[in-house]
């Protein structure tokens, strides 16, 4: 009798689990007055919203696949080099990190102070922290460089490659004749946009005239983009001076308070532009409309966070390493 009851219980639990699996396979649903609505109905009746959800999902899956890919690369490399596991291989890379020089520590100290960090701390007091910070940065750089080499060695491909067409007519451009288009969506108030400029500057220095580099406005706060309005008005008068101001704002040594309206305006007065025309420009609604248009183009192309780049239409998001940019650009060229 006990065996029969146990069998009945097992069959009952199995049927419950099966029904749960079937429901799970169908995904989320909505019922109203006996009528059921599913993902298919969202796709049919709300296509734009559904498309955005799918874009976000695909981007998230690609990020996870990228992490999985790096894990697999280290596992393959560890096996080939007769190491115990991927962690041992990673440790072998970290042992190659050199100790920061005194000049590097002093430079990092000055940059931290410019960002409003380490207030009240002397160089000697902050030295241990800065030393550890620089070692971690160097280790990260070496790790990214190794990942780039392993990707080439083992024919790493993350697909499908989805290219976006971005309208760049009339936008601030470095080297308009470059054969490889890089479009940057950034915001002046975005700290990660500021950090990535060190990398993008090195990329432009390496590839020089091969790159056509375009800047698109993507302010963090679309309702109060004074820094974007002001820089646009500088651009309308003199593009080289726009890029000079761009570099000044994004310089790691430049304090964040340069973005305050009075400070930015004071900086702009040193550029030698027509300030009368500038003042008229910053009150022109058309300038803000251009910024909103840039922002919307980014959203339409799948930009959900900044910095965000399109290299020959291929998206790359975030403060990525030199090696990541270098690999994609070398592939495209």
Residue-wise pLDDT tens digits, 191-226 = 999 999 999 999 999 999 999 999 999 998 887 789
Q: Which of 150, 157, 216 minimizes the C-alpha distance to 188?
A: 216
pLDDT of 3 > 80? The answer is: no
How far, in Å, CA of 81 to CA of 73, rounded? 12
Domain boundaries, the chain: 50-153, 173-332
For 154-188, write each residue's pLDDT tens digit.
988 888 888 899 999 999 999 999 999 999 999 99
Q: What predicted TM-score, i.e. pTM, was given to this entire model?
A: 0.69
Confidence of residue 23 (pLDDT cuts 50, 70, 90): very low
CATH for 173-332 is 3.40.30.10
pLDDT of 228 > 50? The answer is: yes
- Mean pLDDT value across residues 73-82: 96
SS3 content of the chain, % helix, strand, coil (to 5): 65, 10, 30
Task: Please give the torsion angle defined by the CA atoms of residues 149, 153, 157 and 161, in that order, rounded to the nearest 10 degrees.
Answer: 60
Model pLDDT, residue 157: 86
How far, in Å, CA of 174 to CA of 171, rounded? 10
Confidence of residue 118 (pLDDT cuts 50, 70, 90): confident
317 to 84, 178, 192, 321: CA distances (angstroms) = 34, 22, 11, 11
């Amino acid at each position: 009798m006990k065996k029969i009851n146990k069998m009945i219980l097992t069959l009952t639990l199995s049927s419950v689990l099966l029904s749960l699996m079937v429901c799970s396979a169908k995904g989320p649903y909505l019922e109203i007055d006996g009528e059921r609505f599913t993902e298919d109905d969202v796709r049919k009746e709300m296509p734009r919203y559904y498309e955005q959800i799918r874009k976000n999902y695909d981007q998230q899956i690609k990020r996870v696949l990228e992490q999985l890919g790096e894990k697999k690369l280290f596992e393959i490399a560890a096996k080939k080099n007769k190491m115990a596991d991927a962690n041992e291989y990673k440790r072998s890379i970290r042992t190659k990190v050199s100790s920061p020089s005194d000049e590097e520590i002093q430079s990092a100290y000055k940059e931290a102070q410019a960002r409003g960090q380490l207030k009240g701390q002397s160089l000697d007091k902050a030295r241990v922290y800065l030393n550890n910070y620089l070692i971690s940065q160097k280790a990260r750089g070496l790790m990214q460089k190794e990942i780039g080499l392993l990707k080439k060695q083992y024919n790493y491909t993350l697909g499908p490659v989805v290219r976006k067409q971005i309208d760049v007519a009339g936008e601030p451009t470095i080297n308009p004749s470059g054969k490889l288009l890089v479009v940057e969506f950034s915001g002046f108030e975005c700290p990660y946009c500021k950090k990535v400029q060190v990398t993008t500057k090195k990329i432009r220095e390496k590839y020089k005239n091969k790159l056509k580099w375009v800047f698109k406005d993507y302010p963090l706060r679309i309702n109060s983009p004074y820094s974007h309005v002001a820089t646009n008005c500088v651009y309308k008068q003199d593009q080289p001076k726009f890029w000079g101001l761009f570099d000044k704002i994004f310089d790691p040594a430049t304090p964040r308070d340069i973005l305050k309206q009075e400070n930015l305006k004071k900086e702009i007065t040193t550029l030698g532009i027509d300030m009368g025309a500038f003042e008229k420009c910053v009150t022109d609604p058309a300038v803000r409309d251009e910024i909103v248009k840039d922002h919307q183009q980014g959203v339409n192309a799948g930009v959900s966070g900044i910095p965000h780049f399109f290299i020959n239409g291929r998206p790359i998001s975030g403060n990525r390493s030199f090696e990541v940019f270098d690999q994609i650009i070398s592939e495209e060229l």
